[in-house]
Structure 1
Amino acid sequence: MELKSLVDQPGKLPTVPKVVQQLMASFNAEDISAHEIAQQIATDPALSAKVLRLANSAFFHASRTIGTVDDALRILGFIMVRNLVLGNGMVAAFKNTRGMDLHQFWRHTLYTAVAARWLAMHAGMVGEDNGDAVFTVGMMHGIGQLQLHAVAANAVAPLDRHSNVLDSDRAEREKEAWGFHYADVSAELAAIWHFPDALVTALRSVPDPLGAGRFDRAAAWVHLGGWAARVAILSQDDENAQATYPAAVGKKLGVDPAWMPLLVKHDPDKAERAMPSLGELAAGLDAMLE
């Protein structure tokens, strides 16, 4: 199996809703206005309703009811509204993918994104780390896994029998088997869809932020968020969770392990600095997975 063969034919690419295609094009459009984006979303009534439902969810703590897509853009910001549309579009594009537990996969993806966003916002560097942009990487980082299962199910099946797609060593196993991993596929898709180079690079670097040459902070936040999501989704015990914690990545980012209570049980005084539960962080965003 070759990387290019997974994405080099139009028939092998997922069918993305038109409004999502337009939003993708906006990534590199410097002169596009928030009003234009709102108009694009408004062409799809069902999507507009979902964006408003998400914007009024507990996740955003809006001080008043958000009644229009224009309001959502003004209050939440362009990047976050685009995230909601992209996330919903990706779920729709891959809804018929076989060979995977899609509910588990998307739950892990959402938990990864919200954890990475929280970390970037609470432990990141001002002017260096953008939580909403990190959320984008988190929501998109696993699309390569979906593409692999959609177009090369027979080739992926033997590995699936021995390794969950969410396992911490999954990318390494894939690289040993094929010479590339799911994140390389994610990056190739993002490049085809004309996402910014910075996002393409971050997606490719998520499985191993320290081994990708230039250290990519967005990829590193998503890597840490992915660990937290894995612990929750796979119900890992404390011993296994601690054994797989990417301490070197956390150290490179300068993150105090107190962000995750199970890492500092001996220091309960730091509890107030810990990240809320992932269920709490993702409250309301579940609508993207429907």
Structure 2
Amino acid sequence: MRQMIEQATNLPSIPEVVQKLIASMNDPDVSTETLAGIITSDQAIMAKVLRLANSARYGGQRKVGSVKDALVVLGRDALRTLVLSIGLVSSFKAPASFDLKAYWRRSFMLANRAKWLAKLNNSDPEVAYTCGLLHGIGEYLIHIIEPELAKTIDEQVEGGAARRKTQLELFGFDYTMAGSELAKYWKFPDDIADAILWQQQPAGSGALLPYATLLYLARYMILYREQVSESKFDELPVKLIHAAHMNLEDTYRRMGDFSEDNDDIIMMLQQ
């Protein structure tokens, strides 16, 4: 799979600022000055960051006029996540058969929920958000490398076929494997690559992975969002909640309190 990725000529060219921010995620001692320097090196991305940082969601009443202001208002981890989001959305291109806007909308929906749930198992909310943002990159990769075959799979899935099973039969791997390998290729931290790989089976590696657990639960919230909005949790994977040592009542409450910020998603998609 790595060889296939390396030989792909139409993978997106990740902006240098995003590459440096990914590298900084592996450095717990990176300074705010270093992060500010990285972000200000790309004027186009910086302008988009400041526009979003001044939105009601991020900036509130305080005027954000510089990256340093944004660091104060958002915090360095949240700002780094924001820049990653902007950089990835602006760099991804896809064949006509792939609905890129729908792909990003679902990714942001899942990322927002994973971040919201992170408090329940003491995970880093920004890492959880990044995991959600990248959870589907394997699907994107498959459409980039084999667009016609990927289109055939989409049609079979619409007819009732299981996506992962169909991908395994035709490719020998599925979107979770492809996504994890691409995350490693782009040098994202292992926690993120592992969460992508095990998002459908949080304990599949032999240990219950916290970020894979959050992705699994965030997906549940999307699949059953109408029931969740009515505080009905009949399909909630209770065994997973207990295995993750999460409080069930807190989980009910947190899921029920979640509110989708569609304006935030729309602003991201307009970048």
- Point out which structure has higher relative CO (alpha carbons under 8 A, 6+ apart): 1
Q: What does 1:190-269 align with in structure 2 at a 5 Å threshold?
A: 190-231=183-224, 245-253=236-244, 254=246, 256=248
- Tell me the equivalent position of 1:265: none
1:144-155 equivalences in 2 (<5 Å): 144-155=138-149
Unaligned regions of 5+ residues in structure 1, if any? 261-269
What is the CA distance between 1:244 and its match in structure 2? 6.3
> Which residue pairs with 2:4 in the alignment?
6
Q: How does 1:1-290 map to 2 (within 5 A)?
A: 3-9=1-7, 11-60=9-58, 62=60, 64-121=62-119, 123-125=120-122, 129-163=123-157, 169-231=162-224, 245-253=236-244, 254=246, 256=248, 274-278=256-260, 280=261, 283-290=263-270
Native 8 Å contact 1:206 1:222 kept in 2: yes
Contact 1:210 1:249 in 2 (8 A): no
C-alpha RMSD over aligned residues: 3.1
1:228-286, Cα deviation, whole Å (9 max, x unpaired): 23455xx8999xx97865444334333537856xxxxxxxxx6x8713232x3x54243
Q: Distance in 1 between matches of 2:205 and 2:248?
A: 23
TM-score of the two chains, using structure 1 as the length reference: 0.79
Q: Closer, same or farther in 2 for the Cα pair 1:57/1:225, shift >3 Å? A: farther
Cα separation, 1, equivalents of 2:162 and 2:235: 10
Contact 1:42 1:48 survives alignment (8 Å): yes
Note closer, same or farther for the CA distance 1:116–1:247 as it changes in structure 2 (3 Å cut): same
Aligned mates of 2:268, 2:200 — CA distance in 1: 24
Amino acid at match of 1:182: Y
TM-score (normalised: structure 2): 0.84
Give the 3-state SS of the residue equivalent to 1:161 in structure 2: helix
**1:155 and 1:288, CA in 2 relative to 1: closer, same or farther beyond 3 A?**
same
Matched positions, count: 266
Check 1:257–1:177 CA distance in 2 against 1; reply closer, same or farther (3 A cut). farther
Paired residues of 1:115 and 1:225 also in contact (CA < 8 A)? yes
Contact 1:116–1:222 at 8 Å: present in 2 too?
yes
